[in-house]
Every structure is written in C-alpha cells, then in structure tokens.
C-alpha cells in the first residue's frame, strides 16, 4: 500500500523527495565547507601563528635614524628565561653576520639575490624537514649545508616574482633537494665585505616551513652559523639575534611577556593573528549553519503544507480503510512509513549529489592549482570540503526528524478525525 501511494501520484512524490534532497544538499554542503575549508584555515593559522609561541628580541633605543639594542641575549639571559614560570622551551636563533648572496639555477634560468640566513636549533624545525632529509650539524663535513626555506618565499616567488621576470613557477617537490651556492663575503647590491674574506659554500634545501614566530630568512643549523660567523669576524662571543620561547599555556603568555620586558627584552607574539583568524572562521561557521538551519526550517514548512494537501485528498481512502478494519495505529503507521520512504529518498539523492559534486569541484580546483604550480600555497587548507562522520550523522538525523515530524503531525490529526467521524457514522 505504501508503494501504491508513492507511485499513484508520481509528480507529487518526486516533488516531496526533491524538496528534502535540496535541504539535505545544502546542510551537507555547509558541514563540508565548515569541516574542510574553515577548519583547515584554523589549522593553518595554528601552524603559522601558534598562540603559545613568542619571539623575544632585545629592546632598541632610537638615536636619529639609527637604533641600538638596549640588552644582549647571551647564555646567562637564556638560562634565566628558561627558569621563568610557564616557559616550556627556549630555542635560540643566530643571524649569519657575513655579507652574502645566493646563486641558484631554476629550470635553466640563473638567479642571483641577496638573502638573510638564520641559524636555528635543529629541534625547532624537526617537523618541517622533508622525508629522507636531515637538518643537523655535521662537524666532519661543511658541505652541503642543509637549509629550510619559508613557504612564504615560495608563495611570493610563484605569485609575483616569477611572472614579473618570466621565470617558471616551481612547487615544493621540485624545491626539496635543490642545491644552490652561498657566496660568502660578497653581496649582490653592495659588493665585497670590509675584511676581504670570500668563500663559496654549497647548500641544499631539506624542507619548507610556515612559522611566523621565526625571524624571516633561510634557516641553517645554528652550529653552522656560529662557525661561519667566527670565520668571518673572529669573535667567539656571539649574542643571539632572537629567541623562540614556547609557553606551556596561552593564559601564561602575558605573565611571561611582562617578565621578559623587565629584563629589557621585547616579546612579540602572534596570538592576536591566531585569535582573529579563529574568530573569523567560527563566525563564518555560525553564519553557514544558520543558513542551513533556515533552509531546513523552510523545508519543514514546505513538507507540512505538502502533506496537508495530500491528506486533504485522502479522506475517501481513510474512510475505506477504516471500513475494512483499519485502526488509528494502522493508518498512522501506513502514512508514517510513506513519509519515511520519501525522507530516505531525499537523503540518498541529496547526499549523493553533494558528495560526488563537491569531490569533483575540489578535484578540479586542485588540478587547476597544480597547472598553475600553486597547489602547495601555505595558506591553502589540506581539504576544501570534508565529510566528517559526526557532522554528517547530525545532518542526516536532523533532516530525517524534520522530514518525518511535519507529515506525522498532519497524519496524526487527519486520521484521528476521519476515524472518529467514521465511528460516529
């Protein structure tokens, strides 16, 4: 009887199924965007702007157009900072105090540029080193020096520099393992250094990093920076350029920053950027879910009106079923089963369209980015659309309840009135 009722009015049944399918598609698309892009952007923000990491530098004193450090970050200062309550790790960074330039060949094109090289503790970048590569100091060999390049530089090259000079765009896979020459004692703009020392060292890219808590530059193990600084300057005492301080909890950042300020140091955090991006993604998710809820609400009213019209045309059918022994429970289960069948049809159609449609859209987007050599942009989330089990389950349950509840109310009232009327007759 359920099958007969569904096939008797094919267009009416199809319209009801499509209404539910549309609501399902919208709700699932919202969860896919929220679970994929918005959550991915928040994860990228956590990687690029970790809220518990601060950059510590000496405070500067301005004198005319010059500025001078008012404090020195040496080993005693590092030991004192490590002892501060709330501090988890302290990772020194040491700039390479040698005039230098980089020479690299990219797809047959030869490029020369000045660069900033920063020595960091190998543990700082252990998660940024490519598989099969190492980022460690080797006292038995000086070449090639392993280095890690900021992803932001790769993005800037692909998005602007490559087009402006006619160079081909490159991706991460091409860059990993790429070797280039670091010319010490000479710069591209200013020429040779003051003491006349010159040398050439081979370097190899072993990874890429996107961490705003690092001093911008090309990163090498800090022991290489100490050795090269001593070779060029002859100074044993080499104060650190900056410190990367990792704090145990976000609520301890302000306290630690104040203690550092009392030591004559300046603490710069990226918590504001992380909080801003997190707030924006959460606000976007709220707007999307509110839109999905509105669609579901409109859908429930549409189904309510649709079943009101359906039941209004079934007065004779209800009377006939009552006359042959149909009870209230039998009639209600009959029409409830019909509503469930329509809801399941809408869920299957809407879910299938969204799943395969969004997967194809993401596939085309990825292919387009790969064609432009932009697939590895540091700001892109890992997935644009994601179908997580919990959000999808919630959508299915909510759509099913709203799709069945509205017709169930109409069915309950209509069958009750009709059966009561038939009994009195």
Three-state DSSP class for residue 405: helix
| pLDDT tens digits, 36-71 | 777 777 666 666 667 788 888 887 665 545 555 557
- Selection from 292, 137, 275, 126 nearest residue 209 by Cα: 126
Q: Provide the pLDDT confidence category of residue 330 given band limits of 50, 70 and 90.
A: confident
Task: Determine the average pLDDT of the residues in 103-120.
Answer: 79
Left, alpha or beta for 213 (phi > 0: left; psi -120 to 50: alpha)?
Answer: alpha
- Selection from 90, 4, 82, 26 nearest residue 55 by Cα: 90
- The reported pLDDT for the residue numbered 22 is 87
- The reported pLDDT for the residue numbered 62 is 55
- The reported pLDDT for the residue numbered 14 is 86
Q: Provide the pLDDT confidence category of residue 223 given band limits of 50, 70 and 90.
A: very high
Query: Is a pLDDT exceeding 80 seen at residue 279?
Result: no
Measure the CA–CA gap between 246 and 253, rounded to whole angstroms.
Answer: 9
Place of tokens 């959460």: 282
Three-state DSSP class for residue 104: strand
Query: Is a pLDDT exceeding 80 seen at residue 18?
Result: yes
Enter the tokens of residue 179.
């070797």
| pLDDT tens digits, 368-380 | 777 665 555 555 6
**3-state helix vs strand vs coil in the chain, percent to 5:** 55, 20, 25
| pLDDT tens digits, 123-159 | 888 888 988 889 998 877 667 899 998 877 777 777 7
| pLDDT tens digits, 368-424 | 777 665 555 555 667 778 888 888 888 888 888 877 776 677 667 766 655 555 554
Query: Is a pLDDT exceeding 80 seen at residue 95?
Result: yes
Tell me whether residue 275 is exposed, middle or buried, using C-beta atoms within 10 angstroms of its C-beta: 0 to 12, 13 to 18, 19 or more. Answer: middle
């Amino acid at each position: 009887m359920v099958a007969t009722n569904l096939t008797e009015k094919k267009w009416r049944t199809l319209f009801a199924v499509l209404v539910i399918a549309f609501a399902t598609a919208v709700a699932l698309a919202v969860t896919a965007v929220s679970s994929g892009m918005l959550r991915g952007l928040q994860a990228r923000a956590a990687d690029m702007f970790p809220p518990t990491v601060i950059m510590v530098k000496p405070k500067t004193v301005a004198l005319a157009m010059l500025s001078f450090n008012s404090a020195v970050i040496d080993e005693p200062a590092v030991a004192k900072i490590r002892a501060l309550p709330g501090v988890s790790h302290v990772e020194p960074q040491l700039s390479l105090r040698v005039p230098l330039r980089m020479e690299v060949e990219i797809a047959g094109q030869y490029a020369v540029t000045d660069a900033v090289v920063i020595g960091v503790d190998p543990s700082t970048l252990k998660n940024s080193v490519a598989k099969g590569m190492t980022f460690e100091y080797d006292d038995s060999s000086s070449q090639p020096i392993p280095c890690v390049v900021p992803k932001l530089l790769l993005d800037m090259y692909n998005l602007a520099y490559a087009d402006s000079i006619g160079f081909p765009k490159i991706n991460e896979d091409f860059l990993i393992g790429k070797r280039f020459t670091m010319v010490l004692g000479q710069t591209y703009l200013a020429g040779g250094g003051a003491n006349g020392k010159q040398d050439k060292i081979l370097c190899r890219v072993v990874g890429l990093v996107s961490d705003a808590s690092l001093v911008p530059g090309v990163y090498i193990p800090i022991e290489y920076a100490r050795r090269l600084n001593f070779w060029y300057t002859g100074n044993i005492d080499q104060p650190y350029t900056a410190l990367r301080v990792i704090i145990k909890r976000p609520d301890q950042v302000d306290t630690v920053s104040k203690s550092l300020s009392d030591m004559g140091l300046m603490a710069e955090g990226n918590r504001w950027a992380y909080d801003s991006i997190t707030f924006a993604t959460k606000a976007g998710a709220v707007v999307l879910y509110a839109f999905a809820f509105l669609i579901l609400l409109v859908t429930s009213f549409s189904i309510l009106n649709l079943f009101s019209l359906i039941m209004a045309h079934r007065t004779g059918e209800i009377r006939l079923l009552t006359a042959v022994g149909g009870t209230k429970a039998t009639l209600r289960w009959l029409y409830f089963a019909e509503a469930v069948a329509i809801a399941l049809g809408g869920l299957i159609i809407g879910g299938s369209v969204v799943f395969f449609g969004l997967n194809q859209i993401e596939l085309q987007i990825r292919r387009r980015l790969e064609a432009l050599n932009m697939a590895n942009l540091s700001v892109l989330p890992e997935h644009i659309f994601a179908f997580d089990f919990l959000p999808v389950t919630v959508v299915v349950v909510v759509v099913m309840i709203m799709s069945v509840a509205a017709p169930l109310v109409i069915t309950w009232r209509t069958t009750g009135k009709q059966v009561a009327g038939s009994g009195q007759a």
